[in-house]
């Protein structure tokens, strides 16, 4: 009977023997392929193992066999969310919620899916309504706090999470959420205390890794680089959904042995902005390798020309990132030769263990001189004024990222400041936004003709180098401005950890950081930045 097999599978999982649990569950699906419970159990086991795509497929089979089992639909929603299938996750969570109105599991899943889609206010409204139905439940206060934080209402979020912790003292997940909120508020010491309290308790692997990453960013925001970079190694923990698998058939550097004389392959990591910022360590790395060493740098293909012009001895190779079983796999896009490899960020403890280590010449990326001359000539055709590159958002604005960027309506003190001529560095379709700026502030954001700001990073770097200065929130464009040495005014939310607790941005000497006093306090930030301009 399938029940006895499934009971054995669940017992093996409870006994922390996932391999045996999977074997038994697969035996059940083979012997009873039309039994929904067998596929559901297999999905649960695969999900526990972090094999989300396989879990999704098993849950999908289970739901196909029993469409009325909304618990399977909910499990499928969670798996879809992990796979980045945001619309499907919301649809499945909504189906569960409609079938079981008032069930908090469905409400929570709906809120998570809405947040992933950037529909923050809808998520918060839903959480507040759910809280009103059962204000004695800590989990509802926690959800209200999480959605308030996503919308930038940090004081409200902290109050809700403190109430959740009162109702459920020492709950590590609530402690983690409160610590995250306090860190966003700039209250770094209580945030660090809170996340360390959470880490001192039993946690599932994903929550532990997520909390450990938060601890790393708090330490870095405090300027504690030695402890911060050690803790930052958790970014590679595969319990983190965002962690990548690096596919290189070479031994990985141990973080301690000498690099001199090695044929080293370095893999750029994380987003494009981080790739650019971390490349400031390449001159130091070349010194570590010495004259007998060789360096191959796997980075975004759009940076290849800039890399090879900046460091002629470096072989630049593109990288490719593919999703496999819900995990990002990054590998070189062409064959590379070497005897050792490392992710670029692994050099931080070696080469940037103190703020003094960042005191390096500015402008480490070298644009094409002819292209820069072309853009300088074009800039001279624009109206008089300091030629100022401007960018106001990220390319990706879902998953709560929108709260890190001021709305265009808050940019008045900057856009109306006399003596500035603005040039668009914001990639993507900005026609509506530029029209809004013109209508609201009477300012033209000049467009560089025939320049694809997203794909042509050579052209963007050359234009950036031709400008008098730039201003904007952290994204690929502001990182390029800093990397080519153009004076930059960087706008940040409170306690942004990449600033490493400094008022001058360490990654790009000469870049001034303007930090908001609080999330949503954009008017004060823009006024401060306008004075600095």
3-class SS letters over 115-169: HHCCCHHHHHHHHHHHHHHCCCCHHHHHHHHHHHHHCCCHHHHHHHHHHHHHHCC
Over 257-303, what HEC string results?
CCCCCCEEEEECCCCHHHHHHHHHHHHHHHHHHCCCCEEEEEECHHH
pLDDT above 80: residue 327: no
Higher pLDDT, 477 or 361: 477
The CATH class of 2-201 is: mainly alpha
**Which pTM was predicted?**
0.88
pLDDT above 70: residue 308: yes
Binned at pLDDT 50, 70 and 90, residue 345 comes out as very high
From 152, 154, 176, select the one nearest 164 (Cα to Cα).
176
Residue range 276-288: average pLDDT?
Answer: 96
User: What's the confidence (pLDDT) of residue 397?
Assistant: 46
pLDDT above 70: residue 533: yes
Domain ranges of the chain: 2-201, 245-353, 369-532
Binned at pLDDT 50, 70 and 90, residue 1 comes out as low
Binned at pLDDT 50, 70 and 90, residue 415 comes out as very high
Residue range 242-249: average pLDDT?
Answer: 88
Of all residues in the chain, the percent with pLDDT exceeding 90 is: 70
Q: What is the pLDDT of residues 183-227, one digit of tens each?
A: 999 999 999 999 999 999 998 888 999 999 999 999 999 999 999
Higher pLDDT, 44 or 286: 286
Residue range 119-123: average pLDDT?
Answer: 93
User: What's the confidence (pLDDT) of residue 84?
Assistant: 82
Question: Pairing mode, if any, of strands 327-332 and 315-324?
Answer: antiparallel
User: What's the confidence (pLDDT) of residue 83?
Assistant: 82
Residue range 252-258: average pLDDT?
Answer: 94
User: What's the confidence (pLDDT) of residue 480?
Assistant: 97
Residue range 470-476: average pLDDT?
Answer: 94
From 28, 29, 22, select the one nearest 4 (Cα to Cα).
28
Of all residues in the chain, the percent with pLDDT exceeding 70 is: 98
**pLDDT-wise least confident of 143-157, 320-334, 436-450, 513-527:** 320-334
Binned at pLDDT 50, 70 and 90, residue 401 comes out as low
User: What's the confidence (pLDDT) of residue 87?
Assistant: 92
In CATH terms, 369-532 corresponds, of 3.40.50.1000, 3.40.50.2000, 3.40.50.300, 2.60.120.10, to 3.40.50.2000
Binned at pLDDT 50, 70 and 90, residue 125 comes out as very high
CA distance 422 to 387: 6
């Amino acid at each position: 009977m399938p029940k006895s097999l499934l009971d054995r599978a669940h017992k093996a999982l409870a006994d922390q023997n996932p391999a045996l649990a999977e074997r038994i569950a697969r035996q059940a699906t083979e012997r009873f392929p039309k039994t929904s419970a067998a596929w559901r159990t297999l999905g649960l086991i695969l999900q526990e193992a972090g094999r989300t795509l396989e879990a999704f497929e098993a849950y999908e089979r289970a739901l196909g066999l029993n469409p009325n089992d909304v618990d399977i639909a909910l499990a499928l929603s969670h798996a879809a969310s992990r796979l980045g299938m945001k619309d499907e996750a919301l649809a499945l969570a909504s189906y569960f919620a409609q079938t079981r109105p008032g069930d908090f599991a469905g409400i929570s899943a709906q809120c998570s899916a809405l947040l992933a889609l950037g529909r923050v206010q809808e998520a918060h409204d839903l959480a507040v309504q759910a809280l009103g139905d059962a204000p004695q439940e800590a989990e509802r206060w926690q959800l209200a706090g999480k959605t308030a934080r996503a919308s930038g209402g940090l004081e409200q979020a902290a109050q809700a999470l403190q109430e959740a912790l009162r109702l459920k003292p020492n709950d590590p997940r609530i402690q983690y959420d409160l610590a995250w909120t306090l860190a966003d508020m700039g209250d770094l010491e209580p945030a660090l205390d809170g996340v360390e309290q959470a880490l001192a308790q039993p946690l599932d692997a994903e929550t532990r890794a997520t909390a450990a990453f938060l601890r790393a960013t708090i330490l870095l925001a405090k300027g504690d680089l030695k402890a911060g970079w050690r803790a930052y190694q958790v970014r590679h923990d595969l319990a983190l959904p965002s962690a990548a698998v690096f596919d290189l058939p070479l031994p990985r550097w141990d973080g301690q042995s000498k690099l001199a004389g090695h044929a080293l392959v370095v893999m750029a990591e994380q987003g494009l902005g981080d790739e650019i910022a971390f490349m400031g360590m390449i001159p130091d790395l070349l010194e570590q390798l010495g004259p007998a060493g060789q360096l191959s740098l796997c980075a975004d293909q759009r940076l290849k020309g800039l890399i090879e012009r900046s460091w002629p001895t470096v072989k630049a190779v593109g990288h490719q990132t593919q999703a496999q079983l819900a995990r990002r796999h990054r590998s070189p896009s062409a064959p590379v030769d070497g005897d050792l490899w490392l992710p670029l960020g692994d050099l931080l403890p070696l080469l940037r263990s103190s703020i003094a280590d960042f005191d390096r010449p500015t402008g480490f990326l070298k644009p094409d001189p002819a292209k820069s001359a072309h853009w300088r000539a074009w800039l001279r055709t624009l109206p008089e004024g300091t030629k100022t590159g401007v960018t106001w958002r990220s390319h990706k604005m879902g998953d709560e990222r929108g709260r890190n960027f001021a709305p265009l309506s808050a940019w008045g003190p900057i856009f109306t400041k006399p003596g500035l001529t603005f040039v668009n560095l914001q990639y993507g379709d900005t026609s509506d936004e530029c029209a809004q700026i013109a209508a609201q502030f009477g300012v033209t954001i000049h467009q560089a003709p025939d320049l694809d700001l997203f794909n042509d990073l050579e052209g963007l770097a050359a234009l950036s180098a031709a400008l008098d200065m730039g201003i904007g929130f952290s994204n690929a464009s502001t990182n390029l401005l800093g990397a080519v040495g153009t004076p930059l005014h960087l706008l940040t939310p409170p306690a942004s950890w990449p600033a490493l607790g400094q008022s001058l941005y360490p990654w790009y000497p000469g870049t001034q950081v303007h930090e908001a006093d609080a999330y949503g306090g954009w008017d004060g930030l823009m006024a401060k930045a306008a004075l600095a301009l």
